[in-house]
A and B are shown apart, each in its own frame.
Chain A
Amino acid sequence: SQQGEEDPQALSIQEGENATMNCSYKTSINNLQWYRQNSGRGLVHLILIRSNEREKHSGRLRVTLDTSKKSSSLLITASRAADTASYFCATDNSGGSNYKLTFGKGTLLTVNP
């Protein structure tokens, strides 16, 4: 079963606005990662936040992690039409011989010009 669950399932905003997507998970993690998928393409890694970090930035992306609430958020500032894509969180529970990431179902972001 999926570990991460994104919220909302779909989000539609105007260009220039900020977009916030949330991810909740169930078990303890080593790190949490966010990926983007453009229509018809493979997933592309955006950012990784470790379990001992609370916030991380990369360009227009800001990720927060609250391990006490088992949740993360991805903020995209000053959105552009090119940000239109699906966004997935993935949890890394790696330990021992378990080297899997577990993906959520994704948030479909539409940025209208």
Chain B
Amino acid sequence: NAGVTQTPKFQVLKTGQSMTLQCAQDMNHNSMYWYRQDPGMGLRLIYYSASEGTTDKGEVPNGYNVSRLNKREFSLRLESAAPSQTSVYFCASRLISIGYEQYFGPGTRLTVT
């Protein structure tokens, strides 16, 4: 099993450009998550999908949209990138039952100039 995969690994955007970060998991997990990690800020939840067909805002959703394409895939879209969105983005997945750990992807390092 590949676990949680993310593409791309690195990306440089100009202010105003758009892009979609892709995430897929092969563990049959119901819940999927997008986080951003900035120095000194820890992990902050952007959006999550508790199950296929549902998405909810997390702590820092402004400037982002998500799509739960199917049970395996959960994408994060930046419609008009801003320098404040320079960060490392992590996707994670989890079984929906209480008490199960999250599995993380390797991350996407995004720079917006």
Which A residues are within 8 Å of any B CB, using their own CB?
1-2, 30-31, 33, 35, 40-45, 48, 50, 88, 90, 92, 94-95, 97, 99-106
Q: Point out the residues of chain B lying under 8 angstroms from A103, CB to CB.
A: 35, 42-43
| Total cross-chain contacts (CB, 8 A) | 59
Decide: B103 and A100 in contact? CB cutoff 8 A: no
**Contact mask for chain B residues 41-55; partner A; CB cutoff 8 A; 1 contact, 0 none:** 111010010100000
Question: Most B CB atoms within 10 A — which of A35, A88, A94, A104?
Answer: A94
Q: Point out the residues of chain A lying under 8 angstroms from B4, CB to CB.
A: 42
- Find the B residue at minimum CB distance from A4: B42
Q: Point out the residues of chain A lying under 8 angstroms from B104, CB to CB.
A: 42-44
Decide: A105 and B105 in contact? CB cutoff 8 A: no
Which B residues are within 8 Å of any A CB, using their own CB?
4, 31, 33, 35, 40-43, 45, 48, 50, 58-59, 90, 92, 94, 96, 98-99, 101-107
- Find the A residue at minimum CB distance from B88: A40
Decide: A1 and B59 in contact? CB cutoff 8 A: yes
- 15 further A-B pairs in the complex, CB-CB below 8 A; given A41-B107, A88-B42, A97-B50: A33-B101, A35-B102, A42-B92, A43-B102, A45-B101, A45-B102, A45-B103, A90-B102, A92-B99, A99-B48, A100-B58, A101-B94, A103-B35, A103-B43, A105-B40
